Amino acid sequence: MRSILAAVALFILALPASSQGAPPKASPPKTPVLRLTNEEQTSADASSGAGAPLLEWIKGRSSVVAPDGAAVETVPDFRVTGPKGNLVMRRELVESDGAFGLTQAASYALDISADAHPDGVLPSGGWVCGSAKYFITLRTYVIDANGRHSNALRYTIHCNGG
């Protein structure tokens, strides 16, 4: 009986020592993180007035497969209300600390047909981070067929902990 108690005691003493020796598992990095930065809104971000489109919100999707099969790490979705019809989405670079240089993240415009946003959610493309650690802040607004522009939303994408 004493030999069984001694074996159990040794087993109990050995248990915590073996669990302490194992290195903790690292959680995978949360990459990228899309964040709406409302505190950076300025008077220049206001809409052009009555009847102009309104960007209501932005929501990020991650790990998206594009129609061409390419993997896109984050896709900002924008909800717009206002006139139905064709829109132009304008995305402008505000700031980045990326080593790739600000010229490689050039501002651009995206034509969006009326059929592409029947529910008001705009297809905005996406962002592929690559392997570098950086952040990029963008400003987006839409322009309707009459030249009226919506309010602008600014958002930041943090890639690989940047």
**Res. 12: pLDDT tops 80:** no
Residue 57, class by beta-carbon neighbours within 10 Å (0-12 exposed, 13-18 middle, 19+ buried)? exposed
Task: Flag whether pLDDT at 104 surpasses 60.
Answer: no
Mean pLDDT on 53-67: 82
Q: How confident is the model at residue 98 (pLDDT cuts 50, 70, 90)?
A: confident
HEC per residue, 23-67: CCCCCCCCCCEEEECHHHCCHHHCCCCCCCCEEEEEEEEEEEECC
21 in a structural domain: no
Choose the weakest-confidence range: 25-39, 50-64, 144-158.
Answer: 25-39
Per-residue model confidence (pLDDT) at position 69: 80
Choice between 27 and 52, residue whose per-residue pLDDT is larger: 52
Domain that holds residue 144: 26-159
Smallest CA-to-CA distance from 73 within 22, 106, 30, 44 is with 30
Residue 138 lies inside a defined structural domain of this protein? yes
Residue 11 lies in a domain: no
**Average pLDDT over all residues of the chain:** 74
Residue 84 clears pLDDT 60, i.e. is over it? yes
Is residue 10 in a domain? no
Q: Tell me how crowded residue 154 is: count the other CB atoms within 10 A of its CB.
A: 22
What is the predicted pLDDT for the residue at 14? 46
Q: For residues 75-104, give the mean pLDDT.
A: 79
Distance CA(8)–CA(104), nearest Å, equals 65
- Residue 108's SS3 state is strand
CATH number of the domain residue 50 falls in = 2.60.40
Is 13 a member of any domain? no
Q: Does 116 fall in a domain? A: yes
- Structural domain includes residue 19: no
Question: In this predicted structure, which of 15-29, 61-75, 106-120 has the lowest mean pLDDT?
Answer: 15-29
Q: How far is residue 113's CA from residue 86's CA, in Å, rounded to a whole number?
A: 5
Query: Per the domain annotation, does 84 fall within a domain?
Result: yes
Count of structural domains, the chain: 1
